[in-house]
Structure 1
Amino acid sequence: MSTRRRMFVGRKKELEFLQEKYTSKKAEFIVLYGRRRIGKTALIREFVKDKNHIFYSAVQITDNVQLNKMSNIVINHYNAQIYNTQFSDWEALFRFISDQTIYNKKMVIVMDEFPYMVQNNKSIPSVLQNHWDHYFSKLNIMIIICGSSMSFMEKEILSEKNPLYGRTTGIYKVRELDFESSRAFMGKGNLKEHLNYYSVFSGVPYYLSLINPKDTFEINLKKNILSNGSVLFNEIEFLLKQELREVSNYNAIIESIALGDSKLNDIYQKTKIEKTKLPFYINSLIDLGIIKKEYSATIKIKEQVKKRSGIYKIDNGYFRFHYSFVYPYLSELLEGSEDIIIEDVIRERMLMFVSNEFEKISIEYVRKMGIEKKLPIRPIKIGKWWDKNQEIDILAFDINNNFIFGECKWRNEKVGVKILNQLKLKSDKIEITPKKSYYILFSKSGFTSKLIECSKREDNLFLVDYSKDVVTLI
Structure 2
Amino acid sequence: MIRKFVGRETELAILEEEWNKDGGRLIILYGRRRIGKTRLVSEFIREKKGILYFADDTAPQIQLRRLQDAIAGFFADPLLPSLELTNWDQLFTYLAGKSLPERRYLVIDEFTYLIKNDPSILSALQKAWDNALAKSNWCIILSGSMLGLITDTALSYTSPLYGRRTRDMLLGALRFSDARKLLPTFSFKDALKVHLTIGGIPEYLLKAGDYNDYATFVEREFFNRYGYFYREPYFLLSQEFRELKTYQAILNAIAIGNTSAGTISQFCGMDARHLYPYLEAMIRLGFIEKELPLLGSKRQGLYRIKDSVFDFWYNFINIRRQEIETENYSADTIDMNPYFGKQFEVFVRNEFARTFLPGYSIGRWWYRGEEVDLVAVRENDGSIVIGECKWGNLTEQKARLVLSRLIQKAELIRHEQYPNERFLLIGGGIEGKDRLREEGFLVYDLEDIEAMC
The TM-score bracket by the shorter chain reads over 0.9
Q: Say which of 400, 403, 407 aligns to 2:384.
A: 403
- Contact kept in structure 2, 1:385 and 1:393, CA below 8 Å: yes
RMSD: 2.1
Which residue is equivalent to 1:352? Answer: 338
Q: Say which of 73, 91, 96 aligns to 2:94.
A: 96
Shift of 1:212: 4.1
* 1:328 maps onto 2:319 in alignment: yes
Instruction: After superposition, give the CA deviation of every residue in 1:76-131 in whole Å (9 maximum; x if it has no partner).
Output: 2222232534562423332333343424x221211111111122222110000011
- Contact kept in structure 1, 2:393 and 2:428, CA below 8 Å: yes
- Contact kept in structure 1, 2:55 and 2:109, CA below 8 Å: yes
Which residue is equivalent to 1:363? Answer: 349
Q: Which amino acid aligns with 2:359?
A: R
Whole-angstrom distance in 1 between the partners of 2:172 and 2:80: 44
TM-score (norm 1): 0.89
Q: Say which of 21, 42, 49 aligns to 1:45.
A: 42
- Contact kept in structure 2, 1:443 and 1:467, CA below 8 Å: no
Instruction: After superposition, give the CA deviation of every residue in 1:231-251 in whole Å (9 maximum; x if it has no partner).
Output: 221111111111011101111
- Contact kept in structure 2, 1:191 and 1:469, CA below 8 Å: no
Q: Which runs of structure 2 are paired with 1:110-129 in the superposition (5 Å)?
A: 110-129=107-126
Whole-angstrom distance in 2 between the partners of 1:131 and 1:87: 19
Whole-angstrom distance in 2 between the partners of 1:141 and 1:368: 39
Return closer, same or farther for 1:125/1:80 CA change in 2, 3 Å cut-off: same
Q: Secondary structure at the match of 1:411?
A: strand
Whole-angstrom distance in 1 between the partners of 2:216 and 2:435: 41
Instruction: After superposition, give the CA deviation of every residue in 1:355-397 in whole Å (9 maximum; x if it has no partner).
Output: 112111111335632xxxx54x621x21001111322211111
Q: Say which of 391, 394, 409 aligns to 2:371.
A: 391
Return closer, same or farther for 1:469/1:93 CA change in 2, 3 Å cut-off: same
* 1:58 maps onto 2:55 in alignment: yes
Q: Secondary structure at the match of 2:73?
A: helix
Whole-angstrom distance in 2 between the partners of 1:206 and 1:225: 15
Shift of 1:431: 5.1
* 1:35 maps onto 2:32 in alignment: yes
Q: Which amino acid aligns with 1:65?
A: I
Which residue is equivalent to 1:190? Answer: 187
Q: Secondary structure at the match of 2:208?
A: coil
Instruction: After superposition, give the CA deviation of every residue in 1:319-344 in whole Å (9 maximum; x if it has no partner).
Output: 011101111111111111232xx122
Whole-angstrom distance in 2 between the partners of 1:468 and 1:77: 53
Q: Which runs of structure 2 are paired with 1:245-264 in the superposition (5 Å)?
A: 245-264=242-261
Which residue is equivalent to 2:138? Answer: 141
* 1:441 maps onto 2:438 in alignment: no
Shift of 1:254: 0.3
Q: Which amino acid aligns with 2:426?
A: F
* 1:452 maps onto 2:434 in alignment: yes
Q: Secondary structure at the match of 1:338?
A: coil
- Contact kept in structure 1, 2:68 and 2:81, CA below 8 Å: no
Shift of 1:294: 0.5
TM-score (norm 2): 0.93
Return closer, same or farther for 1:367/1:29 CA change in 2, 3 Å cut-off: farther
Return closer, same or farther for 1:189/1:467 CA change in 2, 3 Å cut-off: farther
Divergent runs of 4+, >6 A: none
- Contact kept in structure 1, 2:286 and 2:306, CA below 8 Å: yes
Q: Secondary structure at the match of 1:410?
A: strand
Return closer, same or farther for 1:452/1:169 CA change in 2, 3 Å cut-off: same
Instruction: After superposition, give the CA deviation of every residue in 1:264-319 in whole Å (9 maximum; x if it has no partner).
Output: 121122111233311111111111111111011114xxx63xx1x21111111110
Whole-angstrom distance in 1 between the partners of 2:83 and 2:363: 55
Whole-angstrom distance in 2 between the partners of 1:170 and 1:118: 19
Deviating more after overlay: 396-405 vs 87-96: 87-96
Whole-angstrom distance in 2 between the partners of 1:366 and 1:87: 57
Aligned-pair identity in percent equals 28
Q: Which amino acid aligns with 2:410?
A: S
Deviating more after overlay: 285-294 vs 394-403: 394-403
Q: Secondary structure at the match of 2:425?
A: strand
Return closer, same or farther for 1:86/1:470 CA change in 2, 3 Å cut-off: farther
Q: Secondary structure at the match of 2:252?
A: helix
Instruction: After superposition, give the CA deviation of every residue in 1:127-158 in whole Å (9 maximum; x if it has no partner).
Output: 00011111110112211111111110112211
How many residues in Structure 1 have an aligned counterpart in Structure 2? Answer: 448
Instruction: After superposition, give the CA deviation of every residue in 1:413-452 in whole Å (9 maximum; x if it has no partner).
Output: 345333233322322321522221233322211x222x41
Shift of 1:53: 2.2
Which residue is equivalent to 1:77? Answer: 74
- Contact kept in structure 1, 2:35 and 2:201, CA below 8 Å: yes
Q: Which runs of structure 2 are paired with 1:98-247 in the superposition (5 Å)?
A: 98-103=96-101, 105-212=102-209, 214-247=211-244
Q: Which runs of 5+ in 1 are unaligned?
A: none
Q: Say which of 11, 14, 19 aligns to 1:14.
A: 11
Which residue is equivalent to 1:432? Answer: 415
Q: Which runs of 5+ in 2 are unaligned?
A: none
Deviating more after overlay: 81-90 vs 287-296: 81-90
Return closer, same or farther for 1:417/1:205 CA change in 2, 3 Å cut-off: same
- Contact kept in structure 1, 2:372 and 2:386, CA below 8 Å: yes
- Contact kept in structure 2, 1:249 and 1:273, CA below 8 Å: no
Whole-angstrom distance in 2 between the partners of 1:217 and 1:86: 55
Whole-angstrom distance in 1 between the partners of 2:294 and 2:348: 15
Shift of 1:190: 3.0
Q: Which amino acid aligns with 2:390?
A: K
Whole-angstrom distance in 1 between the partners of 2:452 and 2:145: 37
Q: Which amino acid aligns with 2:421?
A: S
Q: Which amino acid aligns with 2:27?
A: I
- Contact kept in structure 1, 2:265 and 2:275, CA below 8 Å: yes
Return closer, same or farther for 1:335/1:101 CA change in 2, 3 Å cut-off: farther
